[in-house]
């Protein structure tokens, strides 16, 4: 939990100030019963009204001082804990942003969200508690003990009998209830996960009429949470009355002993009342401290989970003095590259070697699962090669600054990802400073301009989260426009026109050809009509390059390629009238 050190360094001074206020506040609380006992014994019992007024005034003053202290302390502590929470959440978010794909795969999405929200709140609440009752309770407890002993040492012996009993009960309480708190946390995590999965897949759930199934899943998680919470509450519900009972028994004993003492004149009524006050204060602060303990345990679990995120070392190491990439031409070279996803044993890519020259168009074909996406994901270093070398213009990508490397590459991922905001904003992700004309040009090449203009709000049409209000092909075209606007040195298209009809795809291809003159383009496609235009084609089979060459070459010497060709040609010949 080293990450907490940073915040301790920032806030320790304010914390000390809070502690001073807190101590003053506690002292005011501690003085009250003694003043009251004096009023009763010397004022009321002796019928001395002046004394009553005098001491009453002092009591009021002490109360006011206590209240002012409490208010000031509250203002400071709320501010500090809120700021601490905000900063912690911000730092955590920054850390997550720096994560590589590998790092993110290690945490499931849902747990990252709980870590960022609930866990931070737990730690923040605890920090707030540390500036309030958590520290005040021990001060009150010790202070009351001292006052009680000063008041009447023999009677303070009763406390020696009661305090261990309470301690024992509290100990039992914590022992028994702790596992339930852990269970509640786990159940909450699970519930979040189920909910997230449901919400992100709501369309499919509806399409497959899987409501009942999802409802069951949800019900199970929801019930688990309820059961864990109820059992936890049950334990607390049993222990709280027991503690109150013990405290009340202590009061009865004091009243009984005190009664005898008052009768034989060795003690005054006011002192007995004060004594009872101190005792209840001691015992309730003990109970408070037990709450502190459970909160501490929860906060500790949360802090550990947050710590895991902070401790997660970025699996992509950045070089200290990166190579210069300003004059990159865009030559890509794979040299005996193997790649295995971390946590998996089987390599996804085996001994991949090829060169793609600047400005060249290289196509990759292969059956689904053959490793096409995995291969292109290595170029912008979404993942690092397991062995072998990946070079751009003779420079190993590991020697480049990650941001600069990604700046020269634009990628249209297989799964289109758009963000909430309007179409213009989404395309401008490619280049924030692009002019309207540039955006429109990119959209025209991507064959997106026309349909965008057909919307009533045109480029300012709002997109829902993930671009839900667009068709699959429309999303792909906007995603393509976004990549084109970046004017990259290297353009990577991962099956980026799979949802676009053939006529439109033909138009896109022709536009791209002109646009891509100085751009190296690696694209994955399924349709032979798209692929055959490439300068060279790689046939990927089960993670290995089975053949590489032009369309004509492959037609001669690659059986896999020929299979793909003939399986499609019947259909496409007809469509293209060849």
Interface positions with Mg ion (CB under 5 A): 373, 414
CB of 376 to ligand M5T, least distance (A): 8
Q: Are 420 and 480 within 8 A, CB to CB?
A: no
Can you tell me which of 331, 372, 477, 482 binds ligand M5T, judged by CB under 6 A? 372
155-161-163 Cα angle (round to 5)? 105
State both tokens at 535: 């300068």
Work out what residue 369 binds among Mg ion, ligand M5T, none; the CB cut-off runs from 5 to 8 Å by kind: ligand M5T
Site for ligand M5T contains 373 (CB under 6 A): yes
Which CB, 373 or 558, lies closer to Mg ion? 373
Query: Tokens 């914390």, residue?
Result: 15
**Residue list 412-451, contact with ligand M5T (CB under 6 A):** 414
State both tokens at 187: 């159940």
Q: Within 10 Å of residue 57's Cβ, how many Cβ atoms? A: 10
Q: Which of 229, 230, 211 is nearest to 219 (CA)?
A: 211
Q: Which residues pair with 411 in a beta bridge?
A: 492
Site for ligand M5T contains 344 (CB under 6 A): yes
Q: Are 414 and 493 within 8 A, CB to CB?
A: no
Which CB, 152 or 374, lies closer to ligand M5T? 374
Which CB, 296 or 341, lies closer to ligand M5T? 341
* Secondary structure string (H, E, C) spanning 307-330: HHHHHCCCCCCCCCCCCCCCCCCC
Q: Are 148 and 206 within 8 A, CB to CB?
A: no
Can you tell me which of 341, 354, 451, 455 binds ligand M5T, judged by CB under 6 A? 341
Which CB, 347 or 506, lies closer to ligand M5T? 347
Contact region for ligand M5T (CB under 6 A) — 257-265, 364-372, 441-449, 501-509? 364-372
Site for ligand M5T contains 371 (CB under 6 A): yes
Which CB, 484 or 493, lies closer to Mg ion? 493
385-106-82 Cα angle (round to 5)? 125
State both tokens at 222: 């929801």
Which CB, 152 or 476, lies closer to ligand M5T? 476
565-367-384 Cα angle (round to 5)? 130
Which CB, 156 or 378, lies closer to ligand M5T? 378
Size of the site for ligand M5T (CB under 6 A): 12
CB of 477 to Mg ion, least distance (A): 19
CB of 367 to ligand M5T, least distance (A): 7
CB of 387 to ligand M5T, least distance (A): 17
Can you tell me which of 154, 161, 164, 369 binds ligand M5T, judged by CB under 6 A? 369
Site for ligand M5T contains 348 (CB under 6 A): yes
CB of 175 to Mg ion, least distance (A): 52
Site for ligand M5T contains 368 (CB under 6 A): yes
Q: Which residues contact 523 (CB under 8 A, 6 or more apart)?
A: 361, 362, 363, 364, 491, 492, 493, 494, 496, 530, 534
Q: Which residues contact 141 (CB under 8 A, 6 or more apart)?
A: 281, 282, 285, 286, 289
* Alpha carbons 35 and 67: distance in angstroms, whole number: 17
CB of 496 to ligand M5T, least distance (A): 12
Q: Which residues lie near ligand M5T (CB under 6 A)?
A: 341, 344, 348, 366, 368-374, 414
């Amino acid at each position: 939990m080293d990450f907490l050190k940073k915040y301790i360094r920032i806030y320790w001074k304010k914390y000390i100030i809070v502690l001073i206020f807190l101590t003053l506040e506690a002292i005011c609380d501690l003085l009250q019963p003694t003043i009251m006992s004096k009023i009763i014994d010397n004022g009321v019992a002796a019928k001395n009204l002046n004394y009553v007024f005098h001491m009453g005034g002092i009591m009021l003053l002490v109360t006011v001082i206590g209240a002012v202290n409490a208010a000031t302390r509250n203002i400071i502590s709320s501010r500090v804990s809120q700021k601490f929470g905000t900063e912690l959440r911000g730092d955590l978010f920054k850390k997550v942003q720096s994560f590589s794909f590998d790092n993110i795969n290690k945490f499931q999405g849902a747990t990252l969200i709980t870590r960022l929200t609930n866990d931070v709140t737990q730690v923040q609440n605890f920090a707030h508690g540390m500036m309030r009752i958590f520290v005040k309770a021990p001060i009150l407890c010790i202070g009351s003990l001292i006052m009680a002993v000063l008041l009447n040492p023999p009677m303070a012996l009763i406390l020696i009998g009661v305090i261990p009993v309470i301690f024992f009960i509290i100990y039992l309480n914590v022992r028994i209830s702790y596992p339930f708190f852990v269970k509640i946390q786990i159940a909450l995590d699970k519930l979040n996960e189920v909910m997230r999965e449901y919400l992100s897949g709501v369309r499919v759930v509806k399409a497959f009429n899987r409501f009942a199934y999802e409802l069951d899943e949800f019900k199970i998680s929801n019930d688990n949470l309820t059961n864990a919470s109820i059992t936890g509450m049950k334990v607390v519900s049993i222990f709280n009355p027991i503690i109150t009972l013990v405290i009340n028994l202590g009061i009865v004993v004091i009243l009984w002993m005190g009664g005898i003492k008052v009768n034989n004149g060795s003690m005054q009524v006011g002192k007995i009342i004060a004594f009872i006050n101190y005792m209840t204060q001691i015992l309730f602060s003990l109970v408070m401290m037990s709450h502190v303990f459970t909160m501490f345990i929860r906060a500790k679990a949360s802090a550990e989970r947050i710590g895991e995120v902070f401790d997660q070392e970025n699996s992509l190491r950045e070089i200290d003095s990166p190579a210069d990439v300003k004059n990159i031409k865009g030559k890509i070279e794979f040299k005996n590259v193997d790649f295995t996803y971390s946590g998996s044993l089987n390599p996804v890519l085996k001994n991949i070697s090829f060169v793609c020259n600047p400005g060249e168009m290289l196509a990759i074909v292969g059956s689904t699962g053959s490793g096409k996406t995995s291969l292109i994901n290595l170029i912008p270093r979404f993942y690092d090669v397991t062995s072998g070398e990946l070079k751009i213009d003779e420079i190993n990508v590991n020697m480049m600054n990650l941001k600069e490397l990604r700046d020269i590459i634009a990628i249209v991922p297989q799964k289109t990802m758009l963000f909430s905001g309007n179409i213009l904003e989404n395309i401008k992700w490619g280049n924030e400073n692009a002019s309207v004309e540039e955006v429109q040009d990119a959209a025209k090449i991507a064959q997106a301009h026309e349909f965008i203009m057909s919307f009533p709000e045109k480029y300012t049409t709002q997109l829902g989260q993930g671009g839900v209000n667009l068709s699959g092909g429309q999303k792909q075209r906007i995603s393509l426009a976004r990549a084109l606007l970046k004017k990259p040195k290297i353009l990577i298209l991962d099956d980026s026109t799979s949802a676009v009809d053939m006529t439109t795809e033909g138009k896109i291809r022709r536009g791209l050809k002109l646009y891509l003159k100085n751009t190296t383009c690696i694209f994955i496609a399924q349709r032979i009509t798209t692929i055959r235009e490439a300068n060279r084609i790689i046939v990927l089979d089960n993670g290995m390059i089975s053949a590489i060459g032009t369309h004509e070459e492959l037609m001669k010497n690659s059986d896999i390629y020929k299979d793909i060709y003939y399986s499609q040609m019947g259909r496409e010949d007809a469509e293209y009238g060849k």
